[in-house]
Chains A and B, each alone.
Chain A
Amino acid sequence: MSATGIGATVRRKEDQRFITGKGHYTADVNRAGQTHACFVRSPHAHARIKGIDATAASKMPGVVAVLTGADLAVDKLGNLICGWMIHSKDGSAMKMAPHPALAQTKACHVGDPVAVVIAETLAQAKDAAEKVQVDYEVLPAVADPAQAQSAGAAQIHEVAPKNTIYQWQLGDKGKTDAAFQSAAHVTKLDIVNNRLVPNAIEPRAAIGEYDSGTGHFTLWNTTQNPHVARLVIAAFIGMAPEHKLRVIAPDVGGGFGSKIFIYPEEVVALWASKRVGRPVKWVAERVESFLSDAHGRDHVTHAEMAFDRDGKVVGLRARTIANLGAYMSTFSSSVPTYLYATLLSGQYNIPNIYCEVDAVYTNTVPVDAYRGAGRPEATFVVERLVEVAARELSIDPAELRKRNFIHQFPHQTPVILAYDAGDYNASLKKALELADYKGFAKRKRESARDGKLRGIGLSAYIEACGLAPSQAAGSLGAGVGLWESAEVRVNPTGSVEVLTGSHSHGQGHETTFAQLVSERLGIAIDNVSIVHGDTDIVQFGMGTYGSRSGAVGMSAIVKALDKVEAKAKKVASHLLEAAEGDIVFKDGKFTVAGTDRSVPWGDVALNAYTAHKFSGQELEPGLKETSFYDPTNFTFPAGCHVCEVEIDPDTGETEIVNWTAVDDFGVLVNPMIVEGQVHGGITQGVGQALLERAIYDKDGQLVTGSFMDYCMPRAHDVPSFKVGVTVTKCPSNPLGIKGCGEAGAIAAPAAVINAITDAIGSEQIAMPATPQAVWTAIQRGNATRKAAE
């Protein structure tokens, strides 16, 4: 391993600009002559739009235009779409309702944009937006997914009777039911996976600009996948042909999934820029983020796990209602289906699994992928069931897990996925050692002496990452391929630019991707730059989500480097006057095998461009290669997290006193960056378990619409973490990488709740386990015990 190669802890190349205030985010971009957009949003969860009167607003100072859904219809712009087809049990296609960028006949959630004011200044746009008169006929609303299908519930879209988008199933119902019938023990749980707001600290933003001279559009956008945004806006919205639309995603301040999707505001900014003939800038206010960024989770589940007499799992069945909100967001349909039910086998050998999922519309913000996307929900179901079962069966939770672990790989689960590699015992064992599991009883006694309740909880999670290969994804309904692209451009001076279709918004790609190139070509890491986030510069790519950039994005770079090396060897063979087959490339030098004759990397790069030593008939000049890489399988990161809590029974306050994470991410490129990803993921998971919940009242008003009433994890909410790794190489990509971005968020909620329920001796606690919820659960438990006495 070189000092800057794969596996080295290299300080991040992108850091300098961020710590000096030179990061360049979309809101930092200003265009000559730009105007500012302010959206008029529905204050009602569900309302017919009877009319919009923009007369007064249009006369306000500085107003350039007021545009509505009717204008959108005049220009025949297409609807926003969901790009993953799911079929119901009866074979019918999912019920995708029209989603115009500006509501045309009905507003379907609080915050649904119904008009936009374009003005010279933002203040003028805001002032005028207050003068737009929208005549609403308020309709009954439904926000609770558990109520959405009931007889009296408000009907949101004509295409979806009973607000049902699909009724999907996975697994063998007959076999699973039979396994339950003959089971020795069945553990049952009702679970609400609480709704979350992603809340990247950078609010979404968009600047649209139209060049009437060339007919070209440019969109600066806070997106995790600029090419996908361009494709959707070109092909489905019909704004511009793909080759006349440039999407630039400059520095992006966190995404966590919420910036994958194509949103109304960016479409409108782009469209309005042509309408008014000037650039249009929009930056979300935080309240708009709460009311328009796709939310996450929001499942209501009943789940059961069946065991034989030996404590072996014989079956798992789950029935889930998934809230997809008012419209189907870009990939929302896939989250509670193929990213959820396929993971219900966890790390365990479960012969029979059956899952039913009803996806429903409600009068809430659309719900889509948020860090983990489906896999945290699945892990929560599996790991809560196992933990509760262990308590019911009086078996140590670690022992029950061990008894059921998968040991043989590859392992075909009954829910599509074939796990390729892993060692679940190893991560459990290491986690228990690091957490001093054996010493817990003593620590619990010490806490009890201080009047505190102490609990410990495990979460042995698995995820399917990499989100590929394309053929498999396509067979499951994906509307896009899930490969990644790379172009490696060698300059005449030997420095290298890598153009990647991945997008970095905190993951450190500018460093990790350069580590790969530095090691492979034997050049200094400072001589490598990673270019991403501009559709005019970078070849088509699929972007960053699902912990895929290492496994898929870097693998594409490997493939392009293979081609670069092959071509460079041809150049070297001319320089060294030797046969191409005799050239060996190592440590940045091309050597004739078995001799001391060599030529350095830089000379080969220069000669590839001067082309003085070979004819154009023999070899094309230049040194630049491209690869589109499609892996052979998903990757399967897995591990074991151990959470230890101490609870004050008088206040219900939970303190996380110890956290151990042992993860198997395959080969690590940069352990420092991986550790940061683990910290971040765990904290978001702790946020879900202890602090965060998007609450809608019965009228569909978002009650938690700001940082004052939506509780985000802060520095004092999390401890420092003990982080360890085990390594089994991933066999399905050339680097052996599995991915690390989502693991913490997937593992953490179950670990926290398992620890709390262990401490209080009651399973009846919903997320977030706020002090009030914990205190109430303790009181309820005390009352039950007293009644029993």
Chain B
Amino acid sequence: MPNATFHSVATSVAGWSRRMFLTASATSLAVPLFARTSRAEAMDPQTARAKDPRDPANLALTVNGRKHQLALDARTTLLDALRERLGLTGAKKGCDHGQCGACTVLIDGRRVLSCLTLALVAEGRAVTTIEGLAKPDGTLHPMQQAFIDQDAFQCGYCTPGQILSAVSCVEEGHAANDAEIREYMSGNLCRCAAYPNIVAAIKQTKHSMREG
């Protein structure tokens, strides 16, 4: 018999697939979200209950300080909204299951896995992606500069997630020593294994970030 691992593939014929999960969670999430908006169709509870989750939902996303109006399938993850709708492909899809960290972005300054976050959840909150980390004039964030200085990546694929996670690691106060940095960066996989240099980059940055 196929085991649970394979059943999680979307192509399996039976079982509780990820997409069904997203549908269910989007439905349960979307209803209160619609209910608290001032949009006309959501004012009427009858309309909200009857709404098909596959119908596009209107939402406003603020990403890197810019506001975007979108009509999205309510099940759309923040990662897919960023990559497929806003053309912000810096956040990467490495596993789509919250297990690799390549999709890490900041919401209101806190790191989140955008593949496990519905776009709807980010409405009204400030989303920061790797594209928005440098200053508008192109001056790099100290963490970006430290990643260059310390050679903290190779193929670059996990790097946007690593950098945003590293920024949070410092801001959360979890960069006291090597062991703590390693622990609090352990959610971000790097198969090139630039880990020692990522630790070095965080150590380089933690003082300048506090000063800056």
Interface residues of A in 657-676 (CB under 8 A from B): 672-673, 675-676
Contact of B97 among A23, A126, A252, A286 (CB under 8 A): A286
> How many angstroms from the CA of A312 to the CA of B79 in the assembled complex?
60
A126 is contacted by which of B19, B88, B140 (Cβ under 8 Å)?
B19
The answer to whether the Cβ of B8 comes within 8 Å of any Cβ in the partner chain is: yes
Contact B6 A126 (CB under 8 A): no
Give bound CA distance, A228 to B15, whole Å: 40
B131's partner among A18, A20, A706, A709 (CB-CB below 8 A) is A20
> Given contacts A202-B94, A718-B196, is CB(A19)–CB(B11) below 8 Å?
no
Indicate which residue in A41, A505, A683, A701 contacts B155 across the interface (CB closer than 8 Å).
A505
A285: Cβ under 8 A from any B Cβ: yes
Would you call B37 an interface residue if the criterion is a C-beta within 8 Å of the partner chain's C-beta atoms?
no
Contacts known (A11-B149, A23-B157, A286-B100); A684 close to B193, Cβ less than 8 A: yes
B157 touches A202 (CB 8 A): yes
Of residues 679 to 708 in A, which have CB atoms within 8 Å of B's CB atoms?
Answer: 679-680, 682-684, 697, 699, 701-708
CB distance from B3 to the nearest CB of A (A): 5
Q: Flag if B198 contacts A43 (CB, 8 Å).
A: no
Q: C-beta contact mask, A702-731 vs B, less than 8 Å → 1, else 0? A: 111111110011111011110000000000
* B3 engages A20 (CB within 8 Å): no
Q: Is A166 an interface residue (CB 8 A)?
A: no
Q: Is the CB of B95 within 8 A of A20?
A: no
Question: Which residues A1-59 have CB closer than 8 A to chain B?
Answer: 11-12, 14-25, 27-28, 38-41, 43-44
How far does the alpha carbon of A574 sit from the alpha carbon of B6 in the complex, in Å?
A: 71
Cβ contacts under 8 Å, B91 to chain A:
21
Q: Are the CB atoms of B140 and A702 closer together than 8 Å? A: no
If the complex has contacts A20-B144, A506-B155, are A110 and B6 also in contact, measured as CB distance less than 8 A?
yes
Q: Are A254 and B157 in contact (CB under 8 A)?
A: yes
B134 within 8 Å of A (CB atoms): yes
A19–B179 touching, CB < 8 Å:
no
Whether the Cβ atoms of A702 and B6 lie closer than 8 Å is: yes
Contact call A718/B88, Cβ cutoff below 8 A: no
Question: Which residues of B153-201 have CB atoms within 8 Å of chain A's CB atoms?
Answer: 153-160, 163, 178-179, 181-183, 185-199
Cβ 8 A contact of B195, one of A254, A508, A683: A683
For A123, what are the chain B residues with a Cβ–Cβ distance below 8 Å? 19, 73
Within 8 A of A (CB), among B4-22: 5-6, 8-13, 17, 19
Q: Which residues of A contact B196 (CB under 8 A)?
A: 679, 718-721
Chain A residues, CB < 8 A from B93: 27, 203, 283
Q: With an 8 A cutoff between CB atoms, is A484 at the interface?
A: no
Chain A residue nearest in CB terms to B164: A21
A671–chain B nearest beta-carbon distance, Å: 10
Asked if B95 and A707 sit within 8 Å, CB to CB, the answer is yes
A287 at the interface (CB under 8 A from B): yes
A555 → B minimal CB distance (Å): 23
Inter-subunit contact A43/B186 (CB<8 Å) = no
In the bound complex, what is the Cα–Cα distance between A139 and B83 (angstroms)?
Answer: 42
**Shortest beta-carbon distance from A436 to chain B in Å:** 20
Give the shortest distance, in Å, between A683 (CB) and chain B (any CB): 3
A199 CB–B CB distance under 8 Å: yes
- The tally of residues in A whose CB lies under 8 Å from a CB in B reads 80
Q: Verify if A397 is at the interface (C-beta below 8 Å from B).
A: no
Q: In the bound complex, do residue B10 and residue A126 qualify as a contact, i.e. CB atoms below 8 Å apart?
A: yes
CB-defined contacts of A38 to chain B, threshold 8 Å: 10-11
Q: Does A431 belong to the interface (CB within 8 Å)? A: no
Given A201-B100, A287-B9, does the pair A720, B90 have CB atoms closer than 8 Å? no
Min CB–CB distance A258 → chain B (angstroms): 10
Cβ-defined contact, B94 with A254, below 8 A = no
Give min CB distance, B111 to chain A, whole Å: 15
Report if B117 contacts A (CB, 8 A): no
**Contact residues in A for B97 (Cβ distance below 8 Å):** 286, 706-708
* Distance to closest chain A CB from B2 (angstroms): 4
- B contact patch SS: loop
Contacts of B182 on A, CB cut-off 8 Å?
A: 714-716
Cα A288 to Cα B157 in complex, Å, equals: 18
Q: Known: A201-B100, A253-B155. Contact between A706 and B6, CB under 8 A?
A: no
- Given known A684-B193, A713-B193, contact A705–B10 (CB-CB < 8 A): no
The reply on A584 being an interface residue by CB < 8 A is: no
B44 interface residue (CB < 8 Å to A): no
CB-CB under 8 A from A534, the residues of chain B are none
Q: Does A628 contact B (CB under 8 A)?
A: no
CB distance from A704 to the nearest CB of B (A): 8
List residues of chain B with CB within 8 A of the CB of A200.
155, 157, 191
- B114 in contact (CB, < 8 A): no
Asked whether B12 lies within 8 Å of A679 as measured between CB atoms, the reply is: no
Judge whether A707 and B100 touch: CB under 8 Å: yes
B6 with A291: CB separation less than 8 A: yes
Inter-chain contacts of B178 with A (CB < 8 A): 720
Asked if A129 is an interface residue, CB under 8 A from chain B, the answer is yes
Residue pair B13, A202 in contact (C-beta under 8 Å): no
B33, CB-defined interface residue at 8 Å: no
The contact of A130 among B12, B179, B198, by CB within 8 Å, is B12
Asked if B90 contacts A676 (CB within 8 A), the reply is no
Closest-by-CB residue of B relative to A723 is B196
- Residues from chain B with a CB closer than 8 A to the CB of A198 are 191
- Asked if residues B19 and A11 are in contact (CB atoms below 8 Å), the reply is no
Residues in chain B near residue A720, CB distance under 8 A: 178, 196, 199
Interfacial chain A residues near B195, Cβ < 8 Å: 679, 683, 713-715, 718
Q: Is the CB of B194 within 8 A of A702?
A: no
B119 at the interface (CB under 8 A from A): no
Using known A-B contacts A256-B191, A707-B99, determine if residue A203 contacts B94 with beta carbons closer than 8 Å: yes
Q: Does B205 contact A (CB under 8 A)?
A: no
Q: Given A38-B10, A201-B94, A679-B194 in contact, is the A705-B5 Cβ separation under 8 Å?
A: yes
Residue among A130, A198, A256 with the highest chain B CB neighbour number at 10 A: A130
Which residues of B sit under 8 angstroms from A17, Cβ to Cβ? 156
Interface string of B126-153 (1 = CB under 8 A from A): 0001110110000010001001110101
**Structural contact, B99 and A18, CB atoms closer than 8 A:** no
A199 to B191 alpha-carbon distance, docked (Å): 7
Q: Which residues on A sit within 8 Å (CB–CB) of B151?
A: 11-12, 672-673, 675-676
Identify 20 new A-B residue pairs, CB closer than 8 A, beyond the known A254-B191, A715-B185: A12-B151, A15-B148, A24-B89, A38-B11, A41-B9, A43-B2, A201-B102, A202-B92, A252-B155, A253-B156, A254-B192, A505-B155, A506-B154, A676-B151, A677-B154, A680-B192, A707-B99, A709-B5, A715-B182, A716-B186
For the complex of A and B, list the 10 residue pairs with the smallest distance between their C-beta atoms, beginning with the closest: A21-B90, A253-B157, A18-B156, A506-B155, A683-B193, A21-B130, A506-B154, A705-B5, A707-B99, A286-B95
Chain A residues packing against B (C-beta within 8 Å): 11-12, 14-25, 27-28, 38-41, 43-44, 110-111, 123, 126-127, 129-130, 198-203, 251-254, 256, 283, 285-288, 291, 505-508, 672-673, 675-677, 679-680, 682-684, 697, 699, 701-709, 712-716, 718-721
Q: List 6 A-B contacts (CB under 8 A).
A: A27-B89, A123-B73, A253-B156, A283-B93, A706-B99, A712-B191
